[in-house]
């Protein structure tokens, strides 16, 4: 049941009618049932795994709360982490591990028959597992109290707007929201509809328009010159941003209509001027999760620069592997970790503020950030390391771009024109969100402008959006 489908529209409207129409004390039950219906619409068995994760973390958190010794608390915490990470490792990484063992054995002359479990990867398992682990560690470190009400905690884990692809929420922020009565209000409805509309615009009018071009070129990179490869690299950077931030906007919008507040997951990351800034604005819920639950426990930036560099490399290597069981994701993480280490070393030793003015520093910083980010997206999108290196090699062999080839890939004249218009709209809105937020707030307070803009956006999506069942990119993680 995709956010960009009529099935979800019917589901959500029906849910809202029941959620706000029945007695207020039934809201938690209605929300929990709806969340499981939403998740199990892909595959009923997924609900069993979600329920198991919920039961394990709820129970072990209560064990920590009731334990009178530090050893007992630690044992409960380790048990929860072992079960959560064990499930995640089994369904997501075991086949990858087996394939690499077979490959390594072949290098030494040992022939092992190909074998794979072929387990179905449950949608969103990386997201809700990390959310549950965050709760477990927060209880262990006494940052939050263990939730006594099972229904409240079950809603927190399964909340359908952000279940599949985040944002990865914290218990301190979300659990109190599940303990309150929610009422439909015009401000929430208005703000939620705008977020949903803008998220659908980014997904259907931009990400899904450029998707076929990216897919076509990356499917056979050796058949295209460097000009097409560079186009695919840039278009994928646009696609993944619009796809993922669009999902996050829709998630925030649906939650807002229901009276819930989800964190902002993207803050115009392509306008940042350093790799460090980029990671403060891209997938904020995940980057902050790694900062709080891995980077800081490893020692953070305390101590020597070597230790900080080591911690950064560990965090980004794990982040890459979190995205998927493939060496391309590991390479993506290592590249970003290396880039951050080099950026820190350069800032510490070069003293650029002494010989470059602020504007020039930001320009150079933007080009540096984009170079690393775009190179990283090559690894991220490629189906193998070999294909990634084909892309890099071809970038030195530029040639003419044929309109016929673009048309064959799915960008004919009309699509090109409307894509240009959509990108201009996105740039204007994101620029104001990043640098002129008060101007947007002033425009939003005008009497008829928000309504007119909302109606125009809806018509634009209907006329020029790609309708179908194109999944969001981060569903695979």
List pLDDT tens digits, range 397-414: 888 888 888 888 888 888
Query: Which of residues 121 and 175 earns the better pLDDT score?
Result: 175
Distance CA 341, CA 418 (A): 40
What is the pLDDT confidence band of residue 121, given thresholds at 50, 70 and 90? Answer: confident
Say which DSSP state 175 is in: H
Distance CA 96, CA 320 (A): 14
Tokens 């794990």, located at residue: 318
Active site residue 323: yes
Buried b (16+ CB within 10 A) or exposed e, 269-282: bbbbbbbebbbebb
Q: Quick check: is 416 in a domain? A: no
Q: Quick check: is 415 in a domain? A: no
User: Which range in 17-26, 89-98, 306-315 is most confidently predicted, on average pLDDT?
Assistant: 306-315
pLDDT reported for residue 356: 65
Q: Are residues 102 and 197 in the same domain?
A: no
Q: Are residues 274 and 147 in the same domain?
A: no
What is the pLDDT confidence band of residue 135, given thresholds at 50, 70 and 90? Answer: very high
Q: Residue 225: which region, alpha, beta or left (left: phi > 0; alpha: psi -120 to 50)?
A: beta
Q: Tell me which of 330, 365, 394 is where a domain ends.
A: 394
Distance CA 360, CA 368 (A): 12
**How many residues comprise the chain?**
477
Q: Quick check: is 443 in a domain? A: no
Q: Quick check: is 337 in a domain? A: yes
Give one DSSP letter per residue of 369-395, joined into a string: HHHHHHHHHHHHH-SSHHHHHHHHHHT
Q: Tell me which of 362, 394, 426 is where a domain ends.
A: 394
Q: Are residues 236 and 95 in the same domain?
A: no
In the chain, DSSP finds a helix count (H) and a strand count (E) of: 22, 0
Cα Rg of the chain, angstroms: 24
What is the pLDDT confidence band of residue 353, given thresholds at 50, 70 and 90? Answer: low
Q: Are residues 287 and 338 in the same domain?
A: yes
Q: Are residues 332 and 370 in the same domain?
A: yes
Task: Provide, for the chain, the percentages of residues in helix, strand and coil under a 3-state DSSP scheme, each rounded to the nearest 5.
Answer: 75, 0, 25
* Burial (CB count within 10 angstroms: exposed 0-12, middle 13-18, buried 19+), residue 284: buried
Task: Examine the pLDDT at 146 and tell me if it is beyond 90.
Answer: yes
Distance CA 65, CA 128 (A): 22
Dig out the tokens for 308 from the structure.
């900080």
Q: Are residues 96 and 219 in the same domain?
A: no
Q: Are residues 64 and 157 in the same domain?
A: yes
Taking the chain, what is the end-to-end CA distance rounded to the nearest angstrom? Answer: 17
Q: Tell me which of 183, 209, 225 is where a domain ends.
A: 183
Specify the number of domains making up the chain. 2
Q: Quick check: is 238 in a domain? A: yes
Q: Quick check: is 213 in a domain? A: yes
Q: Are residues 129 and 253 in the same domain?
A: no
> Cβ–Cβ contacts within 10 Å for residue 101, how many?
12
For 86, list phi and psi in degrees, rounded to 5: -65, -45
pLDDT reported for residue 96: 77
Query: Which of residues 125 and 121 earns the better pLDDT score?
Result: 125
What is the pLDDT confidence band of residue 354, given thresholds at 50, 70 and 90? Answer: low
Q: Are residues 158 and 217 in the same domain?
A: no
Task: Examine the pLDDT at 93 and tell me if it is beyond 80.
Answer: yes
Q: Are residues 225 and 110 in the same domain?
A: no
Nearest to 417 by CA among 464, 470, 466: 464
Give the residue numbers spanning the domain of 237. Answer: 189-394
pLDDT reported for residue 120: 76
Tens digit of each residue's pLDDT (9 = 90 or more) over 363-390: 899 999 999 999 999 999 999 999 999 9
Tens digit of each residue's pLDDT (9 = 90 or more) over 241-288: 999 999 999 999 999 999 999 999 999 999 999 999 999 999 999 999
For 283, list phi and psi in degrees, rounded to 5: 45, 60
Q: Quick check: is 378 in a domain? A: yes
Portion of the chain with pLDDT greater than 90, in percent: 61
Dig out the tokens for 470 from the structure.
């194109």
Q: Quick check: is 421 in a domain? A: no
Determine the 3-state secondary structure of 182 from DSSP: coil
What is the pLDDT confidence band of residue 115, given thresholds at 50, 70 and 90? Answer: low
The predicted model scores a pTM of: 0.93
Q: Are residues 84 and 129 in the same domain?
A: yes
Instruction: Report yes or no: 81 and 139 within 8 Å, Cβ to Cβ.
Output: no
Q: What average pLDDT does this structure show over 326-331?
A: 93
Nearest to 203 by CA among 235, 245, 164: 245
Handedness of CA 22, 27, 30, 35 (dihedral sign): positive
pLDDT reported for residue 477: 67
Could you check whether the bond before residue 167 is cis, i.e. omega within 30 degrees of 0?
yes
Q: Are residues 67 and 112 in the same domain?
A: yes
Q: 431 to each of 361, 425, 442, 455, how far by Cα in Å? A: 20, 10, 15, 22
Query: Of these residues, 182, 323, 432, 469, which one is catalytic?
Result: 323
Dig out the tokens for 122 from the structure.
């449950």
Q: Which residues contact 107 (CB under 8 A, 6 or more apart)?
A: none
């Amino acid at each position: 049941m995709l956010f960009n489908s009529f099935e979800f529209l019917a589901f959500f409207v029906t849910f809202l009618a029941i959620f706000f129409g029945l007695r207020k004390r039934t809201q938690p039950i209605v929300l929990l049932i709806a969340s499981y219906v939403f998740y199990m619409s892909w595959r009923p068995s997924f609900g069993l795994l979600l329920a198991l994760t919920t039961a394990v973390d709820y129970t072990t958190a209560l064990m920590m709360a009731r334990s009178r010794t530090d050893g007992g608390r630690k044992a409960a915490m380790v048990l929860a982490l072992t079960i959560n990470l064990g499930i995640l490792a089994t369904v997501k990484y075991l086949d990858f591990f087996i394939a690499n063992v077979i490959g390594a054995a072949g290098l030494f002359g040992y022939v092992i028959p190909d074998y794979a479990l072929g387990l179905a990867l449950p949608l969103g398992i990386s997201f809700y597992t990390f959310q549950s682990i965050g709760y477990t560690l927060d209880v262990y470190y006494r940052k939050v109290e263990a939730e006594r009400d099972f229904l409240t905690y079950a809603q927190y884990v399964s909340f359908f707007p952000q279940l599949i692809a985040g944002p990865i929420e914290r218990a301190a922020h979300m659990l109190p929201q599940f303990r309150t009565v929610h009422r439909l209000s015009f401000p929430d409805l208005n703000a939620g509809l705008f977020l949903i509309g803008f998220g659908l615009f980014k997904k259907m009018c931009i990400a899904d328009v450029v998707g076929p071009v990216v897919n076509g070129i990356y499917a056979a990179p050796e058949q295209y010159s460097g000009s097409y490869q560079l186009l695919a690299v840039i278009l994928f950077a646009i696609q993944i941003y619009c796809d993922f931030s669009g999902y996050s906007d829709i998630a925030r919008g649906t939650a807002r209509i229901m009276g819930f507040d989800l964190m902002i997951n993207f803050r115009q990351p392509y306008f940042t001027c350093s790799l460090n800034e980029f990671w403060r604005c891209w997938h904020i819920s995940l980057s902050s999760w790694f900062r709080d639950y891995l980077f800081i426990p490893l020692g953070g930036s305390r101590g020597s620069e070597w230790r900080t560099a080591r911690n950064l490399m560990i965090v980004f290597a794990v982040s890459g592997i979190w995205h998927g069981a493939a060496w391309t994701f590991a390479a993506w993480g290592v590249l970003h970790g290396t880039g951050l280490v080099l950026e820190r070393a350069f800032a510490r030793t070069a003293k650029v503020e002494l010989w470059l003015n602020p504007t020039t520093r930001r320009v150079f910083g933007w080009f540096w950030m984009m170079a690393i980010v775009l190179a990283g997206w090559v690894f991220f999108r490629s189906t193998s390391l070999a294909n990634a290196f084909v892309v890099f090699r071809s970038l030195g062999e530029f040639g003419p771009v044929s309109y016929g080839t673009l048309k064959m890939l799915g960008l004919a004249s009309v699509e090109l024109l409307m894509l240009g218009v959509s990108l201009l709209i996105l740039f204007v809105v994101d620029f104001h969100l990043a640098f002129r937020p008060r101007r947007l707030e002033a425009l939003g307070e005008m009497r008829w402008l928000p309504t007119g803009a909302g109606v125009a956006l809806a018509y634009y999506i209907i006329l020029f959006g790609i309708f179908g069942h194109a999944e969001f990119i981060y569903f695979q993680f």
